Amino acid sequence: MLQRVPVSAFASGYNPPDCEAEDGAPKIRQVDGPSGPGPLVAQSEVLTIYSQGLTTVPNPAYEGPLATGPAAEKSITRNFGFGGIEGTVTLGGVTLNVDDVEWTDAAITWTVPADFASGDYQLTVTNANGVSTTEGITVTVGTDTPIRVGQGGSIQAAIDAAASGDLILVGPGTFDELVIMWKPVHLQCAGPCATFINGVKRPTQAIGEWRTKMDCLFGIGGGCTQVVDALPNQLPGAGGFDTEEGAAITVVGLFDDGTGGQGPVGGFRRGSARIDGFSITGGDTGGGIFVNGYAHGLVIANNRVFGNSGSYHGGIRIGRPFLELTEEGPYGFNLNVNIHHNVIKQNGGMDGAGGGLSINMGTDGYNVAENLVCGNFTLGDGGGIGHFGLSTGGVIANNRILFNE
């Protein structure tokens, strides 16, 4: 007899735990620069930030089909607009000059000063009541030339064609892909409520294509050159991912290209790669985001990771829980990974540690901050956040961890 395993935590009522923002909280739907969708803007140009506005969410007070009154409503509407009274907008923690900002409930525009420094900045909107966005977005100020992916395009093809450090801007829409990030690029979407990566394995040939791609990255197959490395005692190629097969996003890296593995030119190094601003759902076996190894400095920020399941995690996992190692740590498999301002909700894992976020051995120097981890489930340990094995120098701070099981 098969036992039904829930993807998310239980609740006492008919609907799952209430992990949505409260009514009146600001939420960012999409951010556009003057040249198209995505948070890219140059000096003296205008950036537009759109709110999520009125949104249908599950009713936490729903009492089933026989109920009457408000308890009979399976869903309700909450307002995730910015509010009619001007609040504040910050970039990288610095409040923008009110003279450069125009504010409405539906949208905020910002005219970038001519002397504003180029760079990447965390965007946060705070309304007049002092409530801030949980997931914001990373804004790139400067004259970067991005690789753009529109609806119907391929995120994987963009990664394959990009050079290390390139900015890939993914426009609004749903992308049915099992993405493999194998080089340090800035994978950036238009907004967490506008761009979806759906990791459902359909059509059926999708997983076969994923296996072929993964094999080729490890140098297996005709015409293939090895560009990534396995962890110690891990089989190279798709065969080494039997319990992580086909996550919505899988990250693999290169151990060493002659620089001692401390941030190789062709590999990941501090701040060189990011996954930012996506809604990520539908992953099974490998969950929502799975980071295998040598993804040093990877930033995972401002994503909505929900409705994923996996063997050893549901939402996000860094590293592998059951490596057979003989030497003592620290191991340094994934150095200085930064996970911030994500909503990780209603994911489920079969084993390991962490239904929402799983941190595994060798994730040294990690930072986990300002995330909402809510309504996740695991048959292992740590419903919300799990920590398995030795990872030195990590910080977990200022997160909201609620209703996990």
In one-letter notation, the amino acid at residue 60 is P
Report the side by side order of strands in the sheet with 348-349. 309-310, 348-349, 377-378
pLDDT category at 3 given cuts 50, 70, 90 is very low
Domain count, the chain: 1
* Sequence-ordered list of residues with C-beta below 8 angstroms from that of 239, at least 6 positions apart, any chain: none
* Sequence-ordered list of residues with C-beta below 8 angstroms from that of 41, at least 6 positions apart, any chain: 33, 34, 47, 110, 112, 139, 140, 141
pLDDT of 259 above 90: no
In three-state secondary structure terms, 140 is strand
Within a domain: residue 3? Answer: no
Within a domain: residue 239? Answer: yes
Question: What angle is formed at CA 25 by the lines to CA 23 and CA 29, rounded to 5 degrees?
Answer: 110
Within a domain: residue 156? Answer: yes
Residue 131 — φ and ψ, nearest 5°? Answer: -95, 130
Please provide the average confidence, as pLDDT, over all residues in the chain.
92
In this prediction the pTM is 0.95
* Sequence-ordered list of residues with C-beta below 8 angstroms from that of 305, at least 6 positions apart, any chain: 280, 281, 288, 289, 315, 316, 342, 343, 344, 345, 347, 356
- Over the stretch 262-297, which tens digit does the pLDDT of each residue have? 444 447 875 679 999 999 999 999 999 999 999 999
β-pairing, 101-103 with 40-41? unpaired
Within a domain: residue 217? Answer: yes
Within a domain: residue 62? Answer: yes
pLDDT category at 330 given cuts 50, 70, 90 is confident
CA-to-CA distance for 376 and 201, rounded, in angstroms?
A: 22
- Over the stretch 80-128, which tens digit does the pLDDT of each residue have? 999 999 999 999 999 999 999 999 999 999 999 999 999 999 999 999 9
pLDDT of 387 above 80: yes
Within a domain: residue 17? Answer: no
Question: What angle is formed at CA 93 by the lines to CA 35 and CA 185, rounded to 5 degrees?
Answer: 50
In the predicted model, what is the mean pLDDT of residues 53-75? Answer: 94
**Listed range (6-10, 190-194, 205-209, 249-253) with the worst mean pLDDT:** 6-10
Host domain of residue 53: 28-402
pLDDT value of position 256: 66
pLDDT value of position 271: 60
Q: Are 28 and 193 in contact (CB under 8 A)?
A: yes
Within a domain: residue 2? Answer: no
pLDDT of 204 above 90: no
pLDDT category at 392 given cuts 50, 70, 90 is very high
CA-to-CA distance for 27 and 124, rounded, in angstroms?
A: 10
Residue 347 — φ and ψ, nearest 5°? Answer: -110, 165
DSSP state at residue 95: E
pLDDT value of position 128: 97
Within a domain: residue 33? Answer: yes
pLDDT value of position 1: 34
Cα-atom radius of gyration of the chain, to the nearest Å? 21
pLDDT value of position 216: 97
